[in-house]
Copies of this chain bind each other. A is one copy, B any other.
Amino acid sequence: MPPTIKDVAKKAGVSTATVSLVIHDEKRISPLTKRRVRKAIQELNYRPSRAARGLVTRRTQNIGYVLTEDHFRRTEPFYTNIFLGTEFEAREHDFYILVNTIPTEFSGQDCLPRFVKENNVDGIIIAGKVPLKLLECLEPYHLPIVFVDYYPPFGEHSAVLIDNLAGGRLATEELIRNGHKKIGFIAADMEHPSIFDRSQGYRMALEKNGIAYSTDQIITCKGIPDRESGYKCAQALHEKAPQISALFACNDAMAIGALKFFREAGVNVPDDISIIGFDDVTADLYSRPPLSSIRVQKEEMGVEAVRTITELINSKDQRPKKIVVPVELVLRESIKKIN
A32 interface residue (CB < 8 Å to B)? no
Question: Is B101 a contact partner of A227 (Cβ separation < 8 A)?
Answer: no
What's the Cα separation between A99 and B72 when bound, in Å?
15
Residue of B whose beta carbon sits closest to that of A69: B84
Chain B residue contacts of A52, Cβ below 8 A: 51, 55
Interface string of A41-75 (1 = CB under 8 A from B): 00000010111111100101000000000001101
Question: Is A91 a contact partner of B75 (Cβ separation < 8 A)?
Answer: no
**Chain A interface mostly:** helix
Question: Is B84 a contact partner of A101 (Cβ separation < 8 A)?
Answer: yes
Question: Is A282 a contact partner of B75 (Cβ separation < 8 A)?
Answer: yes
Chain B residue contacts of A100, Cβ below 8 A: 87
- Please tell me which one of the listed residues B80, B119, B286 contacts residue A256 in the complex, with CB atoms under 8 A apart: B286
Chain B residue contacts of A181, Cβ below 8 A: none
Residue of B whose beta carbon sits closest to that of A65: B99
Question: Is B117 a contact partner of A47 (Cβ separation < 8 A)?
Answer: yes
Question: Is A81 a contact partner of B73 (Cβ separation < 8 A)?
Answer: yes
Question: Is A75 a contact partner of B283 (Cβ separation < 8 A)?
Answer: yes
Question: Can you list 6 contacts pairing A with B, beta carbon distance less than 8 Å?
Answer: A50-B51, A72-B80, A75-B77, A77-B77, A83-B99, A87-B101
| Interface contacts beyond A47-B119, A87-B101: sample of 18 additional A-B pairs, CB < 8 Å, sorted by A | A50-B51, A50-B118, A52-B55, A55-B55, A73-B81, A75-B77, A75-B286, A77-B77, A77-B80, A80-B80, A83-B99, A84-B101, A87-B99, A96-B98, A96-B115, A96-B120, A97-B99, A257-B286
